Amino acid sequence: MVSPAIAFAFIPLLLTLIIRYRFYFVLFYRAVLVRIWKDCVTGLSREERAFQYVLTHATPGDTDSILDAFDSWCSKVEYISNIGPKKGKILDRLLMEQSPLTVLELGAHCGYSTVRIARALPLGARLYSVEMDQGNAAIAEKIIRLAGFDDDTVELIVNPSDEVIPRLRSDYQLERLDFVFMDHWKKCYLPDLQLLESYGLLGKGSMIVADNVLFPGAPKFLRYLRKCGLYEWKIHRATLEYSKGIRDGMAELIYQGIK
């Protein structure tokens, strides 16, 4: 048995930890505990619940309305790790500056970032969006079409990224990618970037934007950027989407070619 005196001695330490990491406790509650409970109660996936909310709160064909509905749901109802409005504005600006014609998205999830990217593209551009989870891809497909984008603008590819990238040239006739957005499994950032390099899909000036490189983090990816010398790069610091007090950031890379 632990004596009361020893137990009381740990109370200040426990309070200190709770205060210091309170934002992470809140995130765990919203992202994990609430999700498990609502999965059981509703019989629907979190992504299906988000789609139902968007469907009843957004105007079809109005991309701003669809994104606002997503942001409202993620902020006030349940948590989903979309890029969100704050980091989304950075992505919007980079897309406007680049005006890319051929874009690859790795990690469509439920279609939020897909819609955000597609609405910023110039006329004649095409977005190839990759999502490995079939359930999430089904939701993303509905969101993309709800926003008014057809197959000529957005093509959704349902397969793991490491299987899709080697086939982009042969199956999709892609010679070069102007812009790549990474927001899938963080452990895949580095191997997928190296696949893009090895298959010659990046040209001088191609831009890659990778979300969540500080939290949950992609340390191997960042170490590679520091050492490889193939990119001009920087981190856009921000906070984690739909959260307070958790530091995060997006990496912006511009490919310089093999030196």
DSSP class of 151:
T
211 is catalytic: yes
**Which entry of 136, 141, 212, 248 is annotated as an active-site residue?**
212
Please count the other Cβ atoms lying within 10 Å of the Cβ belonging to residue 258: 9
Distance CA 249, CA 235 (A): 6
Q: Facing residues of 208 across strands?
A: 180, 253
Question: Is residue 109 within 8 Å of 131, Cβ to Cβ?
Answer: yes
**Which entry of 183, 192, 248, 252 is annotated as an active-site residue?**
183
Distance CA 176, CA 212 (A): 25
150 is catalytic: no
Unique residue bearing structure tokens 């959260």? 243
Q: Quick one: which of 56, 74, 114 has its CA closest to 243?
A: 74
3-class DSSP state for residue 124?
A: coil
183 is catalytic: yes
**Which entry of 48, 105, 192, 211 is annotated as an active-site residue?**
211
**Which entry of 105, 136, 141, 186 is annotated as an active-site residue?**
186
Helical pair 46-57 and 34-42, crossing angle rounded to 10 deg: 80
Which residue numbers are catalytic? Answer: 183, 186, 211-212, 241
